């Protein structure tokens, strides 16, 4: 990791899936249950990579090209109990200690392409009081890869792009951060164009000089 640091950071923003949590098992089970309703095979690696980054609506568009099947898939999604899968999510071990070090001096936020599940995820994992602001795909007109979620957070805290950082792990995170002008810390993805690359969330402490 580079020895350079970020100064004057007032807001630390986190992606959810792949950063705050290892959600591969959860997302795989979720979409495979929907596919199984149509007697379709489990997701391919390409399909999983797409669904892991994008909103549920974009993911269903990707998985179901037929319009009639897509409409039925939406109904199946609405009836599927996603909350039973939340326990499969594995919280990153460095997350809670890092949040304690950041606050209250640095505000904390979430920018995620999840929609109506984010609040329940935070509640189930005891994180509901650890973030000052949460922006999901349902809270903006254009979710990631557009910069809208990050811009909404910047506006909420009345800070400039250079006074925030975003921790992400996917191409859509890279694009959103770039569009908003927010420094990106790439987590476990060396292929991303980012200001910093880390393998553990704990490394953010050194980046911020904590």
The total number of residues shown for the chain amounts to 210
pLDDT digit string, tens, across residues 16-34: 999 999 988 888 999 999 9
pTM of the entire predicted model: 0.86
**Do 61 and 131 share a domain, yes or no?**
no
194 pLDDT higher than 90: yes
| Domain range enclosing 192 | 11-22+90-207
Residue at which a domain ends, from 58, 87, 116: 87
Q: Count of H helices and E strands in the chain? A: 9, 8
Number of domains in the chain: 2
**Do 51 and 102 share a domain, yes or no?**
no
**Do 103 and 17 share a domain, yes or no?**
yes
**Does 196 fall in a domain?**
yes
CA terminus-to-terminus distance, the chain: 16
What is the pLDDT confidence band of residue 2, given thresholds at 50, 70 and 90?
very low
**Do 121 and 63 share a domain, yes or no?**
no
Percent of the chain with pLDDT over 70: 99
**Does 126 fall in a domain?**
yes
202 pLDDT higher than 50: yes
**Do 182 and 199 share a domain, yes or no?**
yes
Average pLDDT of span 172-191: 97
Tokens of residue 103, six digits: 């606050």
pLDDT at res. 3: 56
pLDDT digit string, tens, across residues 103-147: 999 999 999 999 888 998 999 999 999 999 999 999 999 999 999
Tokens of residue 128, six digits: 């509901």
**Do 125 and 175 share a domain, yes or no?**
yes
pLDDT digit string, tens, across residues 75-112: 998 888 777 788 889 999 999 999 999 999 999 999 99
**Do 52 and 63 share a domain, yes or no?**
yes
Average pLDDT of span 48-69: 92
pLDDT at res. 165: 98
**Does 113 fall in a domain?**
yes
Residue at which a domain ends, from 87, 111, 137: 87
Quote the DSSP letter at residue 132.
S
**Does 6 fall in a domain?**
no
Q: Average pLDDT of the chain? A: 94
Q: How far apart are alpha carbons 52 and 59 in whole angstroms?
A: 8
**Do 133 and 52 share a domain, yes or no?**
no
Q: How far apart are alpha carbons 123 and 115 in whole angstroms?
A: 15
pLDDT at res. 161: 98
**Does 1 fall in a domain?**
no
pLDDT at res. 4: 72
- The CATH number assigned to the domain holding 157 equals 3.40.50.1000
**Do 194 and 169 share a domain, yes or no?**
yes
**Do 66 and 118 share a domain, yes or no?**
no
**Does 4 fall in a domain?**
no
- Write down the residue that tokens 């249950």 correspond to: 33
pLDDT at res. 122: 94
Residue at which a domain ends, from 87, 116, 138: 87
**Do 97 and 165 share a domain, yes or no?**
yes
pLDDT at res. 81: 76
**Do 96 and 149 share a domain, yes or no?**
yes
């Amino acid at each position: 990791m580079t020895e350079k640091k970020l100064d004057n950071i007032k807001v630390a923003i986190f992606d959810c899936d792949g950063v705050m949590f290892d959600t591969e098992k959860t997302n795989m089970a979720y979409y495979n249950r929907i596919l199984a309703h149509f007697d379709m095979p489990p997701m391919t690696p390409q399909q999983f990579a797409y669904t892991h980054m994008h909103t549920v609506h974009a993911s269903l568009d990707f998985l179901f090209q037929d319009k009639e099947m897509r409409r039925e898939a939406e109904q199946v999604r609405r009836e599927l109990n996603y909350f039973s899968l939340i326990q499969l999510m594995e919280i990153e071990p460095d997350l809670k200690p890092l949040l304690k070090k950041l606050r209250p001096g640095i505000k904390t936020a979430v920018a995620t392409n999840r929609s109506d599940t984010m609040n329940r995820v935070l509640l189930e994992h005891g994180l509901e009081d650890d973030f000052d602001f949460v922006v999901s795909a349902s809270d903006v007109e254009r979710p990631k890869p557009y910069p809208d979620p990050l811009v909404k957070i910047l506006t909420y805290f009345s800070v400039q792009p250079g006074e925030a950082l975003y921790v992400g792990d996917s191409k859509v995170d890279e694009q959103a951060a770039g569009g908003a002008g927010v420094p990106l810390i790439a987590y476990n993805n060396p292929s991303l164009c980012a200001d910093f690359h880390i393998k553990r969330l704990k490394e953010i402490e050194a980046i911020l000089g904590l």
